[in-house]
Amino acid sequence: MASIEEIRSARLNKLNFLIKKGVNPYPTTAHQDITCKEAGIRFDELTGSKKNLSMVGRILSLRAQGKIIFFDFDDGTGRFQALLKKSEPLSSELYELFEEAFDIGDFVEVKGTFFLTKKNEKTILAEEIRMLSKSLLPLPEKWHGLQDIEERFRKRYLDLLSNPGIKERFVTRAKIIELVRQFYLNDGYIEVDLPNLQPLAGGATALPFKTHHNALDMDFYLPIAQELYLKELLAGGMSKVFEIGKRFRNEGIDTTHNPEFTMLESNEAYADAKSQREFIEELFKFVVEGLFGKLQFEYQGQEINLEPSFKVMPYPEVTDEEYKREIRPTLVQPTFLVDYPVSANPFAKRKEDNPNLIDRFQLVMGGLELVNAFSELNNSIDQRERYLEEDKKGKAGEKDISPSDLEYLEAMEYGMPPNGGIGIGIDRLVMLLTNVKNIKEVILFPTLKPRT
């Protein structure tokens, strides 16, 4: 079996052969009259018209049989089959050029008419064939697919080509985000854009990433959360706002954590944790039914059923590590955890009947923490005291804090309506609804340690 280096050398020779023949291996313009998907749908109409049409795509397989060559190609919408005949309607010169210089992995343009083979295969009979992009390395199929997990994440473009279902998973991810966005917009929320360069990393307790702006000679932080900006918008008169965007937390990497991740955050004036729980339950049912056509789906061998009302239970009175290790994995069906201690979040309101607890909930499903939400603190005096506690922790060496933000406190003092805030981990939601256990499987380009 030839080595990668030998294959690359052979393909470079083919590239030079094309150039010597006066063929541009990387032309600027491509002609596409119909996609592979459209050709499949309109096939009966196309075979009747006998009209020459151009199609484009990457060659994925080649089968030579005497003086004919079949090849499959993919344009991103689907696959289609092409047939080259040495005699007609393709010229013998183009046929021989294809034999000499075209390979699996090359992008081509094929023009011809449509017919059905004896095996009932929808096919385009080529009258013209043109190189669009000459590939120099072989696709993974030649090596029985891309098997190494780390290599799959590093070379996602090859993963998409060689592993069935990977592309579909990311199409599903886009559909999930579309459904979530649709539900929010239908409920009257406004989608907003918030800054990713921030003078303070606030809105959550996490270690941020720092960068520097040269012209201002000033350090900035990438967002660990956008909660404070959203609440400032409520103080400015907006009532329902949300953002879907990247968040960055300088933390460890494991099956449910990536330093760069996608989160939806929203705030609604005059809402509280209870009304937000109802909102979240409706949202999840909307997304699941929109995706599967029913309220049941499977995750890691267990059926999850969203039809009954979600269970509500108090956060267990154990240490955080024990909860994560012993209790969270058992919460398969949708469960709201409520009644957290005040120390758990510096921005949540205290419960009126027990000021030692905050009016907060998390949604756990399939053992995954998916949603964090609470009645937002709008008392600037209480917020200032909470900030002081956070600052003390920071001075004592704790890194995961939310430091005092004087500009945010000032906005609160102008008056902020009571409101409910929600944070939804989009990547974990996609994990749940595509039945995978590793967050890297639902992020196109996850954070990886560089090769040495």
Q: Check if the beta carbon of residue 442 is closer than 8 Å to that of residue 169.
A: yes
- Residue 369 marked ligand-binding: yes
Compute how many other C-beta atoms are within 10 angstroms of the C-beta atom of residue 388.
11
What SS3 class is residue 447? coil
Compute how many other C-beta atoms are within 10 angstroms of the C-beta atom of residue 227.
24
Give CA–CA dist 282/276, Å, rounded: 10
**Residues whose CB is less than 8 angstroms from the CB of residue 121 and which lie 6 or more positions away in sequence, other chains included:** 81
Which is nearest to 61 in space by CA: 71, 51, 53, 49?
71
Distances in Å between the Cα of 238 and the Cα atoms of 189, 192, 270, 420 are 10, 11, 11, 13
> On the CB side of 35, how many CA atoms lie within 13 Å of its CA?
7
With tokens 């992009």, the residue in question is 133
DSSP per-residue string spanning 225-241: --HHHHHHHHHTT--EE
Residue 46 identity (one-letter amino acid): L
User: What are all long-range contacts of 313-321, with beta carbons under 8 Å and residues at least 24 apart?
Assistant: 313/337, 313/338, 314/338, 314/339, 315/339, 315/340, 315/344, 315/362
**Residues whose CB is less than 8 angstroms from the CB of residue 172 and which lie 6 or more positions away in sequence, other chains included:** 291, 430, 433, 434
What SS3 class is residue 265? strand
In the annotated binding site for Mg(2+), the residues are: 369
In the annotated binding site, the residues are: 369
